[in-house]
Amino acid sequence: MKKEVQVHSLFSDFDISLFRAGKHFRLYEKFGAHLMEVNGEKGVYFAVWAPSAKSISVIGDFNYWLEGEHQLNVRWDGSGIWEGFIPGVEKGTKYKYKIQSHHNDMVIEKADPYALSCEHPPNTASIVWDLDYKWKDKKYMSTRKDKNSLDQPFSIYEVHLGSWRKNMDENRSLTYTEMADELVGYVKEMGFTHVEFMPIMEYPYDPSWGYQLTGYFAPTSRFGNPQEFMQLMDAFHKEGIGVILDWVPSHFPEDKHGLGQFDGSHLYEHPDPRKGYHPDWKSLIFNYGRNEVRSFLISNAVFWLDKYHVDGLRVDAVASMLYLDYSREDHEWEPNEHGGRENLDAISFLRELNKEVYGSFEGVQTIAEESTSFPMVSRPVDLGGLGFGMKWMMGWMHDTLEYFKKDPIYRQYHQNDITFSMTYTFTENFALPLSHDEVVYGKHSLLGRMPGDEWQRFANLRLLYSYMFTHPGAKLLFMGAEIGQYEEWNYNTSLDWHLLQDDYHKGVKELLTDLNKLYKKQPALHEKQFSAEGFEWIAYDDSKNSVLSFIRKGKDPKDSLIIVCNFTPSVLTDYSVGLPASGKLKEIFNSDEKKYGGSGTKNKSLKIEKEEFHGRDHSAEITIPPLGTVVFKIL
């Protein structure tokens, strides 16, 4: 028998019209479970979208999980929204929706799509919660636009919270509160400007690493509650470090308590399996053409920026959204209305997402993980682009790692692999990723890819990072790369922190700390990192020596840097480099320094001669260390 559910609504007619038009981007203020007082009684207002439901009961530990005790009321306007106020329900109450569907009278138990907190998996109930918190980052938020703009250094440390560091005494991951001390301090010490979390939204299955979500509005309970996650955000902001969240609007799992067949119908997923089922991940794909689903997803992106003060979203698997034939055989997909393979609904959704994010929040960035040559991913929507701030440079990552795998003796035959990226670097605002995907599934760790003896392997790794930090674009490095992990990443174990007892590993960490300092201190490395005006080749064709030389430029010509990379273990002495001006050449960075584990081959202050070389009026003879990168400044 229905009892104690009072008629109450947070929805105005305008809210309903926006929702049905796919233009309501603050749905978290309406849907879900909201603690409030109605007619002098404290309790919770519940609202859920389920147009194919015949009846919906809120079941939970407050009513012994009994169906029919507290049935919600369906709105009269045909919106498919069920709602009602239940007195006496308190913060911390566990609940689900029990839905009887019009489809075959099936009865389903579902978690709340808008729940602010969830039970620790494998338990699946939603938890009534609030977002009350006194933020302490007002100063940071007011100046964020200056730190987060594209002409500023963007050095990202990618983290899987469950495996970054363990509490070894209790054999568990750190809590949000512990990370606010240990992780924040470490990222600050290393000098990264941003941290990126692999998905922290609630997910049921640890081996998915968080990329198959069931609680889009709830930070995972594995490490603490919502307020404790806010404390972690606050702690990063106190140190001036931006936080980027991985966000997954591309697909969701089929878990029974999740979004799949939510009300007995294909509500969130596309009903056509050619568009609604992902064969690779055995997951469901959102129906980007359904207005209410677009409102749900864009509201979710806005939610993290609004309520958790997030500084950016890295959008996962964008390529799988853009193409109807992604990972499908010829007979498994249907062309769009123009006969093409592009998913027009998904493209429209991504453009609307970015318009809303950039229009509503100052100083944030969206970053696309997009692995194809789809045009204008990081160009403004009003110019025909998708509107992202940046795009991962997957081609650079692939070509570079393939090149570094090769024995240096063969690199002279593959010079094009290491130079090719510069033919398209400025077609997008690229971020250079050495991400978690590159150190799993038998690919080996980054160190494990490097050829040669122990010294050469570490020298190659230092060279890789130095080349990366001097190449145009933002930088992203997955945790563990900075200490030279031997083993592939394992989501279930801690990083091998004991390796830092060894000088080679300690040297890699010190090198990356100094590279972050260099990247931040030298305007030439970031002011024009997305512009062709910020780069100029000196010589890219010295394949015989496997050497690259180029100039990085900032807004002031005096800030220009000369970078020379030697991809062989031979020391090159009296090596002539054409230069743009007279003066003296001062070495300001050398990846072969002894403190990094190198040989200590260095350059003293060098006089620039008025001798033509590389088509320039001036030149100097330098020494290039083995498997090393040297950065010079003209004084």
The contacts of residue 141 (CB under 8 Å, 6+ apart) are 237, 309, 363
| Spatial separation of the C-alpha atoms in residues 364 and 192, rounded to whole Å | 17
For residue 628, give both structure tokens: 């090393």
Instruction: Kindly state the tokens that stand for 8.
Output: 């109450």
Q: What angle do CA 224, 229, 231 make, to 5 degrees?
A: 120
Peptide bond into 279 cis (omega under 30): no
Name the DSSP letter for residue 202.
E
Sequence-separated (6 or more) residues with CB below 8 Å from residue 291: 19, 20, 21, 22, 23
For 224-299, list the strands marked E by DSSP: 242-247, 277-278, 283-284
- Of 83, 202, 234, 316, the active-site residue reads 316
Residues 6+ apart with CB under 8 A from 76: none
Question: What's at 281, amino acid-wise?
Answer: W
3-class DSSP assignment, residue 609? strand
One-character DSSP codes across 508-529: HHHHHHHHHHHHHH-GGGTTTT
Looking at the chain, the number of H-run helices and the number of E-run strands are 13, 31
Residue 316 annotated in active site: yes
Q: 3-state SS of the chain: helix, strand, coil percent to 5?
A: 30, 25, 45
Element (H, E) at 55: strand 53-60
HSE (CB half, 13 Å, CA atoms) of 253?
Answer: 19
Contacts of 142 (CB under 8 A, 6+ apart): none
* Distance, CA of 367 to chain centre: 7
Amino acid at 114: Y
- Any alpha helices (H) in 191-290, and if so which ranges? 226-238, 273-276
62, 95 Cβ separation under 8 angstroms: yes
202 labelled catalytic: no
How is residue 574 written in tokens?
């009296």
For 264-329, strand residue ranges (E) read: 277-278, 283-284, 312-315
Residue tagged active-site, from 369, 370, 514, 592 = 369
For the annotated catalytic residues, the residue numbers are 316, 369
